[in-house]
Structure 1
Amino acid sequence: MALGDSGTESPNRRPRSLIVSFFGSYGRDIGGWISVADLISVLAELGVDAPATRSAISRLKRRGLLDAERNGRVAGYRLSAEGMRILAEGDLRIFNRQVAHLSEGWVLVIFSFPESERRKRHVLRSQLTWLGFGTTTAGVWIAPAHLSEQARQAVHKLGMDGYVELFHATHLGFSDLAEAVARWWDLPALQEMYETFLEDHEPVLNSWRSHGTITREHEGAAFADHLRAVDAWRRMPFLDPGLPPELLPASWAGRRAARVFFDLHTLLHEPSLAHVRAVTGTGPPHHRPAPA
């Protein structure tokens, strides 16, 4: 359900990010539409004020991810067709987390742009980084083979087919592959990303586990904790391609962070959705299949 936001979220972009995460987590289950007043109300529970929410909505509308739509006299917003498509694609990466096996091999993206097209080179590098690719040399990027189709689609969508070649590869030598992976990816930065997530959200999980049954009076708090966790997590599967575990440090925090996120999501999603339905006055969910 990622909508293309990449990199670390700066404070002035956080309301926009939370709205994206809100629609990804609950918007489709409540029919895809929410009034402006209700969206302001639910984000206020996370400390976002009304002007910041309105400004973030306007930006998402300009990007083509939300459409303004009135329900009678009530102003509101609905996910656009593009927004729905991007959320569906993001669900596959975020909730169907793939971990590579060495036997599957690698996908190589090899490209060359003339100097007059250097802006396209920058755009492609940014897209490959967002897909979780590592860099072997300036024009050769690598990822686990399960990202082959996503890479193909991204290159085609950017209109760069004429500058790029894709290969399926097997490592035959000569470097130690674990050492090479540590050069191709910024593993310390990814480790720090996961450790920060654990510091922020593992205590939350432990607290809810000790709490017992989540009653109606606690659904609002569950909603706030769930949305914060989703908002923090949803970029991580795009920055980390799911490298083979045997190539990662023994202290790799990604595995534990994934367990914490999925356990927290399983525990809090339903009471959170119940709270959103109560605020918005919406009925039972449309039966959208749960991610595997």
Structure 2
Amino acid sequence: MKPRSLMFTLFGEYIQHYGNEIWIGSLINMMSHFGISESSIRGAALRMVQQDFFQVRKIKNNSYYSLTNKGMRTMLDGFTRVYNKKSDKWDGRWRILTYSVPEEKRDLRNQIRKELSLMGFGFISHGTWASPNPVEQQVMELIRDYHLEQYVILFSSSSVVSHTNEDLIEKGWDFAAIGKEYEAFIEIYQTKYDEYKKRAWNNELSDEECFIERTKLVHEYRKLFFVDPGFPNDLLPPDWNGTKARELFFNTHQLLSVPAIRYFEKVFEKAPDHELVPNRDKAINPFVV
């Protein structure tokens, strides 16, 4: 696990439900379970501040980190589709985005591509991306955050004259490859789920282990949404194994959740001046029904 990616996982899965701020010592404690050194964590946190994903404040000798607006949007981009109920029906509209970013802003161009992919956009031709999902608000936030008004145009259309919807999907997304990613996830976590059930029944799962395993589960499942565009069900291939993977993720998540939250609450330290009203129910069950 890379430190930055794991930080987003921890904020999305736990910290956002407990005031969105954490002492760096607590963060180091949590991340040490995944083989990441203290120096790597501190370095990653500093870079996150420099990149405007984190803000930090000092109280005496302690540093407390929270997500900025940009960091919160980036985190939610990675978590909203993980937990939201997928739509059965497509609204019939394509969201089409074109951009032209100068060569001297290559890093910005690469960041745009990453964020569009995470939103579920597919690359359909040079400088042109498309999505059937209602992501207008997210795109407009992206444009404002990165000051892209002069580089980006977003369209919404109910028809594409030159191609069928099937042609557009084939150009922008490789569902055969995405299906293989889901198959690998199912193969690993079906075995794990069966083992967890047996061990939970025998009271052999510690709170600490559940925290580690729930975090790994979410981290691995969340990565699938870098390739899965999250289409409405009526645009998906027949017998789509992403549905089976989601059910497996939900069942495994719920099996581990309560003891995982107990362990998180044990090691989590908020700022002394922060009045905490934790949304514990949401932390245990973040799924939107």
Q: Which moved more, 1:259-268 or 1:158-167?
A: 158-167
- Contact preservation (8 Å) 2:211, 2:261: yes
Amino acid at match of 1:220: E
Corresponding residue for residue 29 of structure 2: 41
Distance 1:54 1:172 in 2: 49
Corresponding residue for residue 211 of structure 1: 199
- Contact preservation (8 Å) 1:27, 1:33: yes
> C-alpha root-mean-square deviation of aligned residues, in Å?
3.5
Select which of 218, 226, 230 maps to 1:242. 230
Distance 1:19 1:125 in 2: 21
Where do 5+ consecutive residues of structure 2 fail to align?
none
Select which of 274, 279, 284 maps to 1:287. 279
Deviations along 1:182-222, one digit per CA (max 9) or x if unpaired, are 22212233223323332333322222223335959611111
Corresponding residue for residue 231 of structure 1: 219
Corresponding residue for residue 244 of structure 2: 256
- Contact preservation (8 Å) 1:135, 1:142: yes
Give, in angstroms, the shift of residue 260 of structure 1: 2.0
Identity level (%)? 25
Q: Check 1:27–1:118 CA distance in 2 against 1; reply closer, same or farther (3 A cut).
A: closer
Q: Check 1:147–1:114 CA distance in 2 against 1; reply closer, same or farther (3 A cut).
A: closer
Corresponding residue for residue 179 of structure 2: 191
Deviations along 1:212-269, one digit per CA (max 9) or x if unpaired, are 3595961111101001111122243354222243443335332122222222222222
Amino acid at match of 2:172: W
Corresponding residue for residue 66 of structure 1: 54
Distance 1:273 1:130 in 2: 27
Deviations along 1:21-75, one digit per CA (max 9) or x if unpaired, are 11222223444444444333322323333333333333333333334445555x3
Corresponding residue for residue 51 of structure 1: 39
Describe the SS at the equivalent of 1:161: coil
Deviations along 1:165-186, one digit per CA (max 9) or x if unpaired, are 3332234677564354122212
**Structure 2 residue 94 is matched with structure 1 residue 106:** yes
Superposed counterparts of 1:84-233, under 5 Å: 84=72, 86-88=74-76, 90-99=78-87, 101-111=89-99, 113=100, 119=106, 124-171=112-159, 177-212=165-200, 218-233=206-221
Q: Which moved more, 1:171-180 or 1:137-146?
A: 171-180
- Structure 2 length-normalised TM: 0.77
Q: Check 1:145–1:270 CA distance in 2 against 1; reply closer, same or farther (3 A cut).
A: same
- Structure 1 length-normalised TM: 0.76
Select which of 9, 24, 29 maps to 1:21. 9
Corresponding residue for residue 81 of structure 1: 68
Distance 2:145 2:251 in 1: 35
Q: Check 1:33–1:129 CA distance in 2 against 1; reply closer, same or farther (3 A cut).
A: closer
How many residues align? The count is 278
Q: Check 1:264–1:181 CA distance in 2 against 1; reply closer, same or farther (3 A cut).
A: same
Where do 5+ consecutive residues of structure 1 fail to align?
1-10
Q: Check 1:40–1:244 CA distance in 2 against 1; reply closer, same or farther (3 A cut).
A: closer
